[in-house]
Amino acid sequence: MSNSDLDQKAKSILIENDQGGYTVPTKGLYPYQWNWDSVFVALGFATFDQDRAWREIEMLFEGQWRDGMVPHILFRKDDPSYFPGPSVWGTNGGPIPSSGHSQPPVAATVIRELVDTDVTGLAHDRALYRAGALFPKLMQWHRWFLAYRDPDDLGVIAVIHPWESGRDNLPDWDEALRAVEIADIGPYERKDTSHVDPSMRPQKADYDRYLSIMAACRAVDWDPAEVARTCPFFVADPGVTFIFLRANRDLLSLAERLGRDAEAEEIRGWIAKMEAGAKTLWHEGLKAHVAFDERSGKLTDGISSASFLALYAGIRDETTMASLQAHFDRIASKVRYLMPSYDPDHASYEPLRYWRGPVWAMINYMIARGFAEAGDTTRAERLRADTADLIETGGFAEYFSPETGAAAGGGTFSWTSAIWLSWASPTHAEHAA
């Protein structure tokens, strides 16, 4: 397929997966609106329909909870092809049935991007107007993260469930998950393994614990303060932490443009706290940021693709920069395609199992942005070229083997299509040059 055929195909996937203002990640496997999927999807729509891009994010925020949380899944209708559905979550925090926790907060960054791309005249004013309407909701959501995912003011953001990180079966969660007692789950039937090869999905032992954590949170009615206090899983995640730190910088830029001085001052405080807090995640032996289990007080022992997001978060001191460049080159000498979701030198690495090794297009996009902004355009371009190669050969898959490039997980995936259109496609790259 030529690049312009791929551009067309990517657009048609977004249009096919569109449910009337919001987009499913892929039909069958993920039949609802997912939080960070939707936000990345907006980047793809923005390349051909700005209004539709805004609508995607506005519809996501329609599901915001009274306490400020924006859920990771909005169940706008019941769909028996997915488990666990709304009745298993048992939440009641917002206007639309939903899951009970959040997902990486990429929205402020993408909203800033949408405002920045509409650079002239009326279109820019309209974009700023729509950003202004979303701004208080973003503030509420970010305050919620700080209150309930960093209750001890460490300057790092914890996740209460591996699904909240968006990187479900990452080896970083293994030890903390093992400590979760399997309780109150009853018999259940997974649906994901009927859509996708089970060897590419989390194991049953993981699912037992995913459901046990949900049961523990249901038992406290998903009250966010109680969840933070009692949830058996509470792990500070470099992925969410760096994405949140970056999102705060973009939220600050929006606040300044919207003339929200008091909020701008508040956000500056968050950024300072998080820049200092990120040091908590630094593993001196590995020379990288890793996860920190707040229940056991232990750092994890592996480098994940999120370790590279330090640059995207604006942490670009010499030590971080030099170590990440060295890790990048070491990993590049081990696998054909960057960036594997987990270090191929780690014993838990598995090239085809979801978040234990495969390459994900939107993670590559964020890592590349960080390298480019830090002045390392060579490594940024390597990530773009690898992403383009993977999609050219494997199509718009959910994820890819870093070793063979084989397409894996679900097919006709919305965010892979969106990242192609907005960044990886050579057509786009020529346009941007």
Binding residues (CB under 6 A) for ligand DGY: these are 72, 163, 168, 192
| Min separation Cβ 36 and ligand DGY, Å | 10
Residue from 118, 150, 263, 398 carrying the catalytic annotation = 398
Angle at 330 between CA 384 and CA 408, to 5 degrees: 50
Q: Which is nearer to ligand DGY, 4 or 194 (CB)?
A: 194
Q: Which is nearer to ligand DGY, 135 or 145 (CB)?
A: 145
Q: Which is nearer to ligand DGY, 7 or 398 (CB)?
A: 398
| Min separation Cβ 73 and ligand DGY, Å | 6
Clarify whether 168 is annotated catalytic.
yes
Residue from 150, 168, 250, 293 carrying the catalytic annotation = 168
Q: Which is nearer to ligand DGY, 31 or 155 (CB)?
A: 31
| Min separation Cβ 22 and ligand DGY, Å | 16
Q: Which is nearer to ligand DGY, 45 or 163 (CB)?
A: 163
Q: Which is nearer to ligand DGY, 33 or 50 (CB)?
A: 33
| Min separation Cβ 189 and ligand DGY, Å | 13
Clarify whether 184 is annotated catalytic.
no
**Cβ-contact 144, 151 below 8 angstroms:** no
Q: How many residues are given for the chain?
A: 433
Residues 6+ apart with CB under 8 A from 431: none
| Min separation Cβ 275 and ligand DGY, Å | 29
Q: Which is nearer to ligand DGY, 192 or 237 (CB)?
A: 192
| Min separation Cβ 237 and ligand DGY, Å | 14
- Three-state secondary structure along 260-275? CHHHHHHHHHHHHHHH
| Min separation Cβ 163 and ligand DGY, Å | 4
Sole residue written with tokens 């903390």: 176
Q: Which residue is nearest to ligand DGY (CB)?
A: 163
Residues 6+ apart with CB under 8 A from 170: 162, 304, 341, 342, 355, 356
Active-site residues: which are they?
A: 168, 398
